[in-house]
């Protein structure tokens, strides 16, 4: 994968400057200098020196994670407010902006990640050294980093991402009438949920709203409790309970499939993907309730996450073969779970897009259509547009 090192260097300078300023502001607001990257030191400043309330605990003491800082900031405290900003910048700078250039191979001028075939228990690939499956995109600063992933001269990047992939697989496996009907009509359940949560018509759902609804959909399906949901949505516990109740009333076929899947897993000791990949789940027979409950959530997730992994692997094999047979110059460069990224000679844009989309959408024939959206651009962000 080619990256624009000048662009990253520019971002590094900008982030570095902001970090220095934030650091000074935090020391001033806290009335003391300390290592901002040290959780123990931060704890003593927030919860001892400044006497702020402990809102959450970890194994070793008071938590200082984002959710805690956000609440403290909302109470009008300056240090946590500045720290949220500091955390974002420091995470992006240390993990991506400053780390990625060191991975560029001097011979090829590119970053060569490792895709691990047995990295995930569900059948997903994982990526390491560096991980190119978790490149930032969700914040403006993150997006700027992703823009440094570029095509070489004369080529474009082509991206292809499955629409609502695990929801479609869930429609197929569960046969839930509302799910199946939604997809038959070309509907968008993430958008539907967003409209409900935010109380707006579907055509007024923003990308940010849909993204939040995506998390809500998956978290609800995979067993999130009302307590966590209430926190995530900033609603009361009762409202959260009611949301979950209504969700599974609307999608009763989904609830039934989840229950059946857990029961079958308990019986057999494993769950299976659509294509027969198994994951054994010994936790289901554990004496400890917490361990068993964890096993149950794993049992519901793995068939879906694993089927999505199987599906894209089938597509990858067919695309690889088709590109070779047709003597195309397009090269598969990344897989990000339900997305493929290619370097494509400009002249092949249209034909490669069509070929990739077709093979991904026909990798399996399900009860609902598989839909893939493709895009091309000079960098990874523009290629998703």
Ligand X SMILES: Nc1nc2c(ncn2[C@H]2C[C@H](O)[C@@H](COP(=O)(O)OP(=O)(O)OP(=O)(O)O)O2)c(=O)[nH]1
Partner DNA sequence: CATAGTTGCCAC
Partner DNA sequence: AAACGTGGCAACTATG
Q: Are 158 and 330 in contact (CB under 8 A)?
A: yes
User: Residues 279-318: x/- map of binding to DNA (CB under 7 A)?
Assistant: ----------xx--xx--xx--xx--x-------------
From the list 144-152, 159-167, 348-356, 374-382, the region that binds ligand X by CB under 6 A is: 159-167
Nearest-Å Rg of the Cα atoms of the chain is 23
Helix axes 226-233, 237-250, angle to 10 degrees: 110
CB of 159 to ligand X, least distance (A): 11
332 binds DNA (CB under 7 A): no
Could you tell me how many residues of this chain bind DNA (CB under 7 A)? Answer: 67
Which residue from 176, 296, 310, 338 is in contact with ligand X, where contact means CB under 6 A? Answer: 338
Distance in angstroms (rounded) separating the CA atoms of residues 217 and 212: 9
Query: Rounded to an integer, what distance in angstroms lies between the CA atom of residue 338 and that of residue 334?
Result: 11
Q: What are φ and ψ of residue 127, in 5° steps?
A: -135, 135
Least distance (Å) between residue 187 CB and ligand X = 12
Nearer to ligand X, 46 or 167 (CB): 167
Residues near 17 by beta carbon (within 8 Å), at least 6 away in sequence: none
Neighbours of 165 (CB within 10 A): 23
Contact with ligand X (CB under 6 A) among 41, 71, 126, 163: 163
Nearer to ligand X, 81 or 210 (CB): 210
The single residue among 88, 239, 286, 382 that binds DNA, judged by CB under 7 A, is 88
Using the minimum distance from each CB to ligand X, give the nearer residue, 216 or 226. Answer: 216
Q: Hey, which residues does 58 pair with through a beta bridge?
A: 61
Tokens of 100: 């990625």
Whether omega before 130 lies within 30 degrees of 0, making that bond cis, reads: yes
Among 15, 149, 162, 179, binds Mn ion (CB under 5 A): 162
Question: Are 197 and 233 a contacting pair, CB within 8 Å?
Answer: yes
Among 111, 127, 157, 190, binds DNA (CB under 7 A): 127
Binding partner of residue 297 among ligand X, DNA, Mn ion, none, CB under 5 to 8 Å per kind? DNA
Tokens 């990625």 sit at which residue? 100
| Residue ranges in contact with ligand X by CB under 6 A | 161-166, 190, 214-215, 218, 222, 337-338
Contact positions vs Mn ion (CB under 5 A)? 161-162, 338-339
């Amino acid at each position: 994968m080619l990256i624009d090192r000048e662009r990253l260097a520019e971002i590094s300078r900008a982030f570095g400057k902001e970090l220095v300023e934030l650091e000074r502001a935090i020391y001033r607001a806290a009335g003391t200098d300390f290592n901002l990257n040290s959780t123990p030191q931060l704890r003593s400043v927030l919860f001892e020196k400044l006497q702020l309330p402990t809102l959450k605990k970890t194994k070793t003491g008071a938590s200082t994670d984002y959710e805690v800082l956000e609440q403290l900031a909302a109470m009008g405290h300056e240090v946590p407010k500045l720290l949220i900003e500091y955390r974002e910048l420091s995470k992006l700078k240390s993990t991506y902006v400053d780390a990625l250039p060191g991975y560029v191979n001097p011979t090829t001028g590119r970053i060569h990640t490792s895709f691990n075939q047995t990295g995930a228990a569900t059948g997903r690939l994982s990526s390491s050294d560096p991980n190119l499956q978790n490149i930032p995109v969700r914040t403006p600063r993150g997006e700027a980093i992703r823009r440094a992933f570029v095509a070489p001269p004369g080529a474009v990047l082509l991206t292809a991402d499955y629409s609502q992939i695990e929801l479609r697989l869930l429609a197929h496996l569960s046969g839930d009438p509302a799910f199946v009907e939604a997809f038959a009509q070309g509907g968008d359940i993430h958008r539907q949920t967003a409209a409900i949560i935010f109380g707006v018509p579907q055509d007024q759902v923003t990308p940010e709203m849909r993204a939040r609804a995506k998390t809500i959909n998956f978290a609800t399906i995979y067993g999130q409790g009302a307590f966590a949901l209430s926190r995530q949505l900033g609603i009361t516990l009762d409202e959260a309970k009611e949301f979950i109740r209504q969700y599974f009333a609307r999608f009763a076929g989904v609830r039934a499939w989840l229950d059946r899947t857990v029961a079958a897993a308990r019986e057999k000791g494993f769950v299976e993907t659509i294509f027969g990949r198994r994951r054994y789940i010994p936790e289901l027979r554990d004496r400890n309730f917490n361990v068993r409950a964890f096993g149950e959530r794993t049992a519901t997730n793995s068939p879906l996450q694993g089927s999505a992994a199987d599906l894209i692997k089938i597509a990858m094999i067919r695309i690889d073969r088709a590109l070779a047979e047709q003597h195309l110059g397009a090269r598969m460069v990344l897989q990000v779970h339900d997305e493929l990224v290619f370097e494509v000679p400009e002249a092949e844009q249209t034909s490669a897009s069509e070929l990739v989309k077709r093979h991904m959408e026909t990798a399996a024939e399900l009860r609902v259509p598989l839909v893939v959206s493709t895009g091309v651009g000079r960098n990874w962000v523009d290629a998703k547009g």
